[in-house]
Amino acid sequence: MVDFLRRNANWLAVALLVSLGANLFLGGMMAGRLLHHGMGGPRMEMMGGAGQVNWIVKRIAEDLPAAQQDVFRDAMNARKDQLVAMGKELREAREAVKAAIQTKPFDRAAYDNAATAMSQRQTTFSAELADAVGDSMELAAGKPVAN
């Protein structure tokens, strides 16, 4: 046994060093996640409806000066119902694409129609969200919103 250790001491030292490095890396990663982001809370894409809009508003408002946060939140909340409804339409369009893909036999025309509708809803939702954020940012900065 002693002879084995003498012959392989270098390899054992390397293996132990690699193991120590991996343990420190994983421990640091877990500690960083716990201390920086927390371990809980759903990701935005796992939320539905108002949860997504609330998450977006919260994330943007966090970066604003304290005096502007409430104005921004109020302005976004005024448009939340519309954004939630558009988000629901977008999710339904995604489900229609998924259903078209899963249909046996595959119907290319049905898939193309569903994909086109989903693309249009995505574009409409993205434009409305960008407009809502832009208007809310202007209001928070004390500027009148241009219509």
b/e 59-95 (16+ beta carbons within 10 angstroms → b): ebbeebeeebbebbbebbeebbeebbebbebbbebbe
Q: What is the pLDDT of residue 146?
A: 62
* Distant-in-sequence contacts of 124-128, Cβ < 8 A, 24+ apart: 124/86, 125/83, 125/86, 125/87, 125/89, 125/90, 128/79, 128/82, 128/83, 128/86
Q: What is the pLDDT of residue 99?
A: 96
Tell me the average pLDDT across 117-124.
95
Contacts of 91 (CB under 8 A, 6+ apart): 48
Task: Work out the mean pLDDT of the chain and round it to a whole number.
Answer: 84
pLDDT band, very low/low/confident/very high, at 1 (cuts 50, 70, 90): low
Residue 37: is its pLDDT beyond 80?
Answer: no
Residue 129: is its pLDDT beyond 70?
Answer: yes
Q: What is the pLDDT of residue 80?
A: 86
Q: In angstroms, rounded to a whole number, what is the distance separating the alpha carbons of residues 108 and 115?
A: 10
Global model pTM greater than 0.75: no
